[in-house]
Structure 1
Amino acid sequence: MQETPLISKELFCTQVIENQEAMFRTARAILRSDEDAEDAVQEAICAAFAHRGDLRSPEKFKPWILRILANKCYDACRGRRPTVDLTEVQDFLPAPSADPTERMTLWQAVLTLNEDLRCVVTLFYYEGFSIREISGILGIREAAVKTRLSRARARLRLLLREE
């Protein structure tokens, strides 16, 4: 006899739809590529669905699925080698006479941060998670979350002042 999952398929789908933007933003913050982020979100949804019986409190769905997503993103990071074909990048090199009135947006500045800093900033400021929740999602100590947030703020201040 099979045990009935605590979260129904319908509730699972509803929760995924409600959290799809947060999932994509989180994955994008870690992976820096829309395509990779979409793949990671898809893998996380499949893994979460397969293990939806493990979720004991449906109200904790968002941190639970973001934890799964973060793990999928980190798996993707470990699985790829950082190589860049220069012919792919040549169109993105800055123009010699860039418009000095152009300003970097905050999100653009966030995207320039390294993966660890970018992820905590996204979860804290864009998704509204507490330090404790981020600690649980990323599997790091609360002190590490605070340190990363502090470093990210300092780096963002510096980046935005340079602009």
Structure 2
Amino acid sequence: RYNETDRIFDELLLTRMQAGDRRAGERLAARWYPRLMSTAFRLLRDEEQARTAVQETWAGICKGWQNLRDPSRFAPWAYRILHHKCSDRIRRNQRERTQQGNFAEDQTIAASAENKVTLDQAFSALSEEHRIAATFYFGSGLTVQEISQVTGCPLGTAKSRVFHARRQLKKLLTDDVKEGE
């Protein structure tokens, strides 16, 4: 979970980067690669595509970090770049499937032999918008306001997406516990 201490440390690293400290940039990249990779993998559900999206994201960060006027906004800014890169890949994948005549798989959860639903399966059952909001909220520790900024949707929409995602996840995971008893 991304907390206030992490935010302050990242702000310090970015400020030092902007002052020309290359090692601070390397350290920031090392801190952020796992976070970005985890989020990208949850959004894209493909490790190779997630890795590529993170590389493209970091390239975007390197191009723009000098222009980031408020270093405390680094996290939402970085996740916004990642969101755009992942969205581009999702659209590209959908176009390719359509052109090839393959249609997206049904995203219903296939029950295992023991009727257990994992957290990953529950996330996969969410709509794209709800999965993105839940990933940023639960997985990346962003606030609803930051999710609104990252995704470019109104604050009320971000709140609604997190609310509905939480409700769906709770239902999927508690229904599984009841069935497994």
TM-score, structure 1 length as denominator? 0.78
Structure-2 change in CA distance of 1:104 and 1:75 (3 Å) = same
1:53 corresponds in structure 2 to 66
Structure 1 unmatched ranges of 5 or more: none
1:21 is matched with which residue: 34, 45, 48?
A: 34
Q: State the partner residue of 1:35.
A: 48
Tell me the distance in 2 between the aligned counterparts of 1:66 and 1:154: 24
Query: Aligned pairs, how many?
Result: 150
Write out the 4+ residue segments of structure 1 that deviate beyond 4 Å after TM superposition: none
Aligned to 2:18: 6
Provide the rounded CA distance (Å) in 1 between the counterparts of 2:168 and 2:35.
23
Counterpart Cα distance in 2 of 1:7 and 1:142 = 34
Percent identity reads 30
Q: CA deviation at 1:85?
A: 9.4
Distance 1:78 1:19 in 2: 25
Cα distance, 1:49 vs structure 2: 0.6
Q: 1:29-108 residue pairs with structure 2 within 5 A?
A: 29-80=42-93, 81=95, 83=97, 98-100=112-114, 103-108=116-121
Q: 1:118: how far off?
A: 1.1
Q: Is the 8 A contact 2:133 2:147 kept in 1?
A: yes
> What 5-or-longer segments of structure 2 have no aligned partner?
1-16, 177-181
Structure 1 pair 161–147 and aligned structure 2 pair: CA distance change class (3 A): same
Distance of 2:136 and 2:29 partners within structure 1: 17
**Is the 1:30–1:119 contact (alpha carbons within 8 Å) kept by the matching residues of 2?**
yes
In 2, the alpha carbon distance for the partners of 1:145 and 1:82 equals 29
Q: TM-score, normalised by structure 2?
A: 0.71
Give the superposed CA RMSD.
2.6
- Aligned partners of 1:31 and 1:115 also within 8 Å: no
